[in-house]
Amino acid sequence: MLFLGFSSGLPILLVFSTLSVWLVKAGVNRSTITLFSWAGFAYAFKYMWSPLVDNLRLPVFQKFGHRKSWLLMSQIMIIASLLFTASSDPSKSIIFTAIGITFVAFSSATQDIVIDAFRIESAPQKYQGALSSMYIAGYRLAMLTSGAGSLWLASYLGAEVYNVRVWQIVYLFMTSLMLVGILTALFSSEPKIKRSRIIKINYHFKFFIVFILAILGFLFLYSSINNPFSKEEILNKFLFATLRILLCFILSGIIVWIFILTKFISMKDTKHIYIKPITNFTNRYGKFAISILLLIGLYRIADVVMGVIANVFYLEKGFNINEIATYSKFFGVFATIFGGFLGGIFALKFGTMRALFLGALIAAASNLLFAWLAVAPISIKFLIVVITADNISSGFAGAAFVVYLSGLTSIKFTATQYALFSSIMLFLPKLIAGYSGSWVDIMGYANFFTLTAILGIPVLLMIIWISKVAPIKN
């Protein structure tokens, strides 16, 4: 799990944090940079294709087993997407960079689906805390590599003055490190879970075709509807964007329904792979299922919304790339790992819900430190204090949350249910985060960071209530 966590964490900052520095140096404006965070919707929408990971057997790598074949395929897809991204130049044609990053995010999200299922299926629930801690440690070490490591390499190669070759070399080097994940997949044992052939062989290709068409329909409608509101009308712009995404989901559903009506795919199989994992969860938690899903959707909102613009804030505050790499990406990662171990120990000794509450509290409170840093004089000491506190709180909250989601997941629908939970976790925060640059333009950094802290208050109230009425049912 340590090495699989590394494989999972490596692409994430190449999609977000490191990419944002590249785009700043390429001369891309702040609002456009934060819109790139919407590539993260691949992580938020992964429930749409997670049933395929659970139920469809790939025609390649079959001898390695169901989970390992999907793992190897997703890792190869990440490598190909990173190579494509490395060949682009956002200062000349940002569209190719956007395409490459979108495919990186899609492939990385697929890998996350497989690894989460692999972890949950490989050991009983009592060991999930230990496995989660090792996974998070590997994940954060990878973020150290792709965050601090990539920025250090860029700084060493001369990134202060924009040169596309510098960033291409950085991304090519990071691509080579995905071999860690491939070797781990090859030498790992396939989870000993008996699987029934839910979908017949002749349905494999049909479901894949329908899935691709549904995604294309989603993308076509999304790109066809322009947001009529100006940059200053940010609330209306956000509400319209939410409506647009909902309409795109409806269109995707209609496309799937049409293929069901024409009997191209089976209604019975569709219900089993998409609907049954949901009904399994709702049957176990009854009327509290919606409340639990709402908590999942809001839990990480404070740090996700803030985190998208953190690197831009550091640069505009006056810190250089080397300082960001050293204190934010290097020491910050070790602080996050430390916080993760604290979160795991706290959950073990005092219970998951108490750990969730404390994690949400300190994660929101740490954003107030960023508000203070925004108005404070430029100081490396101040930066170290804020980054350390923020990363410890983030690691603590993340570890507690992974244990909570693992406990909610049924072993019958491992990949699908966990993907549903993590998709819900990211959807609203990522949607809001895409407008963080515009919010800063309107209210400034100090007020923006304060607002993100306030967003964490409803989460605390929900945790208190849910801990009393809806305990975990394995």
Task: Note whether 332 and 387 are within 8 A (CB).
Answer: yes
Query: In Å, what is the CA distance from 11 to each residue of 8, 40, 75, 300, 333?
Result: 7, 11, 10, 20, 15
Question: Rounded to the nearest 5 degrees, what angle is found at the Cα of 262, between the Cα atoms of 258 and 265?
Answer: 85
In contact, 361 and 457? CB cutoff 8 Å: no
Distance between CA atoms of residues 192 and 372, nearest Å: 51
- Residues 272, 43, 236, 245: what is their CA dihedral angle, to the nearest 10 degrees? -40
CA atoms of 134 and 10, how far apart (whole Å) = 15
Give all domains of the chain, ordered by start, each with its CATH number.
2-469 (1.20.1250.20)
* Tokens encoding 174: 């990071």
Cα 474 from Cα 466, distance rounded (Å): 16
3-state secondary structure of 265: coil
Q: How far apart are alpha carbons 177 and 199 in whole angstroms?
A: 35
Q: How far apart are CA 123 and CA 68, in angstroms?
A: 16
Q: What is the pLDDT of residue 6?
A: 95
What does the alpha-carbon distance between residue 129 and residue 438 come to, in Å, rounded to a whole number?
39
451: burial class by Cβ within 10 Å (0-12, 13-18, 19+)? middle
Whether the CB-CB separation of 42 and 99 falls below 8 Å is answered with no
CA–CA gap between residue 51 and residue 359 (Å, rounded)? 31
- Output the tens digit of pLDDT for each of the chain's 474 residues: 999 999 999 998 888 778 888 888 888 877 677 667 667 667 767 777 787 788 777 777 878 888 999 999 999 999 999 999 999 888 888 888 888 988 999 899 999 999 988 988 888 766 777 788 788 889 888 988 888 788 889 888 887 778 889 999 999 999 999 999 999 999 999 888 776 555 555 566 677 788 778 878 877 887 788 878 776 676 787 788 778 888 988 998 899 899 888 888 778 777 777 788 888 888 888 888 889 989 988 898 888 777 778 878 888 888 877 777 777 767 777 888 888 888 888 887 888 889 899 999 998 999 899 899 888 888 888 888 888 898 899 889 988 888 888 888 887 778 788 888 877 887 778 777 777 777 888 888 889 889 889 988 999 999 999 988 876 655
Residues 427, 431, 436, 441, Cα dihedral to 10°: -170
Angle (CA) 380 384 390, round 5°: 145
| Measured distance CA(380)–CA(378) in Å, rounded | 7
CA distance 136 to 116: 12
DSSP codes of every residue in 311-356:
HHHHHHHT--HHHIIIIIIIHHHHHHHHHHHHHHHHHHHH-HHHHH
- Helix/strand/coil for 92: coil
Q: Mention every residue, 6+ apart, whose C-beta is less than 8 A from residue 425.
A: 44, 296, 297, 299, 300, 401, 405
pTM of the predicted model as reported, rounded to 2 decimal places = 0.73
Cα separation, 186 vs 184, whole angstroms: 5
- C-alpha span between 202 and 206 (Å, rounded): 7
Q: Which amino acid makes up residue 435?
A: Y
- Residue 319 CA to residue 321 CA, distance in Å, equals 7
Contact of 419 with 366, CB cutoff 8 Å: no
CA 323 and chain centroid, separation: 25
